[in-house]
Amino acid sequence: MPNPPTRLFAEAHPGADPTSFQVKTDDETYYDSPYYLAHKNEVQPIPKPRAAPQRMDLADVVGPDEIRRITGAGAITFHAVGDTGASKESHLPNELAVADLMAADVQKGGKAAPAFFFHLGDVVYSFGEGRYYFDQFYDPFRGYDRPIFAIPGNHDGMVFGVPPAAPATLEAFLRNFCAAQVAPSPDGAGLVRSVMTQPSVYFTLDAPFVSIVGLYSNVLDGGPGIISSQGGHFPIGDEQLAFLTAELARLKPLREQGRRAVIVAVHHPPLSVDAKHGGATGLSTDLDACFTRAGLWPDAVFSGHAHLYQRFTRTVQGRQIPYVVAGSGGYNVKASGVTMTRKTTVGDVTLEKPPILAYGYLLVTVSATQLTVAFRSPSRGPKYTDQVTVNLKTHRLV
């Protein structure tokens, strides 16, 4: 795509897929270290925002010509998925298959060409150090000619080693996604993709037809994601609750005027049938409280963390809201004790179909009247696909 001055997104000649890592991922033994076992259930501080307000406008990243293309098409299309980082060379082909398919969507061009990729967290594994960004992020997406935004996952926020030798939590993520200036990344090993200039690890992306409110759910792995102190239980502040409520209140009149859909994105899933990466009840309670206070329930909720694809429908006040879990971007797809394997309704939540154990990503299209979420996979066959459409006027599934 024609890049705005100073911003670059992809290599002019990406070349063949890599077959090996430049830097060996050597920190998985840290999982068994006494230090990690003693501290793995400790949440990490949330970095202060770099700038205010904590929102970005897509127009400032892609330029006016791309915005005219989107508005002229009458809809915006974008990618979303989490857990892309291939922590082992043996997993690299899985991440590359997903990244290459996403790049192919972009290269097709036309009205439906994706405008950006919103990463749902866990950009790199096992721990979020800058030395892994080339092999697990920049090189796999070297041909993805669109901007990439991101919220952090638990592995992005984890630190490796005993302080003070350990890097600060989210140090590399901040350098690559929340930079103050547009520039090549020092972690990109010479590849041209510019760092992203998000104002914070939690922020809103405003684009034609849609706003995505992204949150940071901290570092707990098998445990729940958290966005607040949950009444003083965790040693972090409640600033994300205030942020989310304020952003939803800001977006409410625009949503009611039919000018945009609203999506909430958070790495840990509020709903999940994966036993290890299960739904976070405290997180879900916090989200519901913010939705209620703002008087606006989102049109969809996206998350990752569980390394598979799941889709739920939540029915609230007559609205049908897709809760989509897409943690299948390249890390090891695995069913960690899946507890439901068929369409099941419990209370106001319905698991719509068996979880899909395949690598893949979301292709999302939003117009003034509809929001469509499709799961695409390098695997072939109907059992590896799914799609749902929300009527934005009736708030019901089509």
**How many Cα atoms sit within 13 Å of 172 on the Cβ side?**
26
Output the pLDDT for position 335.
66
| Tokens at 167, concatenated | 């890097």
Q: What is the mean pLDDT of each run of 10 residues along the chain (398 residues)?
A: 78 95 80 78 93 97 96 97 94 96 96 96 93 97 98 90 76 97 96 98 98 97 88 96 98 96 97 80 95 98 95 96 97 74 87 90 98 95 93 97
Longest distance between any two alpha carbons in the chain, whole Å: 57
For the chain, list the domains and their CATH numbers.
28-397 (3.60.21.10)
What is the tens place of the pLDDT at every residue in 89-148? 999 999 999 999 999 999 999 989 999 999 999 999 988 999 999 999 999 999 999 999
Encode pLDDT of 33-57 as tens digits. 777 777 788 899 999 999 999 999 9
Cβ atoms 249, 285 nearer than 8 A: no
Sheet containing 300-303: give its strands across: 55-57, 203-207, 209-215, 260-266, 300-303, 319-326, 309-316, 349-351, 344-346
Q: Which pLDDT value is given to residue 161?
A: 66
Question: Which residue, 93, 82, 157, is CA-closest to 120?
Answer: 82
Write down the pTM of the prediction.
0.96
pLDDT for 162 equals: 62
Q: pLDDT at position 266, please?
A: 98
